[in-house]
Amino acid sequence: MSLRKVKRGPKVIKTLNNLIQYVANWARLSSLWSVHFETGCCCVEFMAVSCSRYDWERFGTLPISSPRQNDLLVIEGIVSKKMAKRVKHMYDQLYDPKYVIALGNCSITGALFKESYSIVKGIDKVIPVDVFVPGCPPRPEAQIHALRMLQEKIRKENLESGAIVPKNNSESLEEKTGQKSTHSNKNKKSQEK
């Protein structure tokens, strides 16, 4: 759910719009509630990052069990073709705005199981992914870095260049990601058998 962009009009409205969007982005990035949805062995490191040693609740995440209240879906490792349907279903259950982190090489390309008949080679064929985290499994540091990258992405989301964000800043982000950072632009392709 993004605020409607103001194409024309006085600069005051544009600034106000940007201000509301900025506050919304700040709220979104600082309370990314996530569900513990295990698909593979990377979930062990995901547990490690939620536990006392690394504790990513510091950044405002909260483990919560119902997909209705979630913002962040973490694909924890390998996804079989049977599970991919459930992942897609799970993604559809989340309410907008929703973000996805793909954890581990299995969820990025299928890595070690690349020749298996039953494995989805890349979860981005099933659902749109925001941040890819390589590692087998990724260390908690890598996961926290990915979370901060996601927060940085959300911070600049849907902001028109102008009053709050300097113009070159948002442009450089678009260069970096190579795509507009709205969710509507991502194409949802469902995995065909």
Residue ranges binding another protein (CB under 8 A): 1, 23-24, 26-28, 30-31, 51-55, 57-60, 62, 64-66, 68-69, 71, 95-97, 105, 108-109, 111-112, 114, 122, 124, 129-136, 138-142, 144-146, 148-149, 152-153, 176-178
Residue 77 touches which member of ligand SF4, another protein, none, C-beta under 5-8 Å by kind: ligand SF4
The minimum distance between CB 105 and another protein, in angstroms, equals 6
Closest-by-Cβ residue to ligand SF4 is: 77
Q: CA nearest 133: which of 101, 170, 173, 87? A: 101
Q: Does 40 bind ligand SF4 (CB under 6 A)?
A: yes
Alpha carbon distance 175, 181 (integer Å): 11
- CA 183 vs. chain centroid, Å, equals 10
Cβ proximity of 79 and 40 under 8 Å: yes
Q: In this complex, which beta carbon is closest to another protein, that of residue 88 or of residue 125?
A: 125
From the list ligand SF4, another protein, none, pick the one residue 78 interacts with, judged by a Cβ distance below 5 to 8 Å according to partner type: ligand SF4
Identified binder of ligand SF4 from the candidate list 24, 41, 48, 64, rule CB under 6 A? 41
Burial letters 152-174, b for 16+ CB under 10 A, else e: ebbbbbbbbeebebeeeebeebe
Comparison of 24 and 111: residue with beta carbon closer to ligand SF4? 111
Alpha carbon distance 126, 79 (integer Å): 10
Smallest gap from residue 9 Cβ to another protein (A): 22
140 near ligand SF4 (CB under 6 A): no
* C-beta of residue 150 within 8 angstroms of C-beta of residue 101: yes
- What are 159's two structure tokens? 């902001």
Q: Which residue number, 104 or 140, has a Cβ lying nearer to ligand SF4?
A: 104
DSSP 11-68: HHHHHHHHHHHHHHHHHHHT--EEE--B-STTHHHHHHHHSTTT-GGGGT-EE-S-GG
- Rule CB under 6 A: which residues touch ligand SF4? 40-42, 77-78, 104-106, 111-112, 136-137
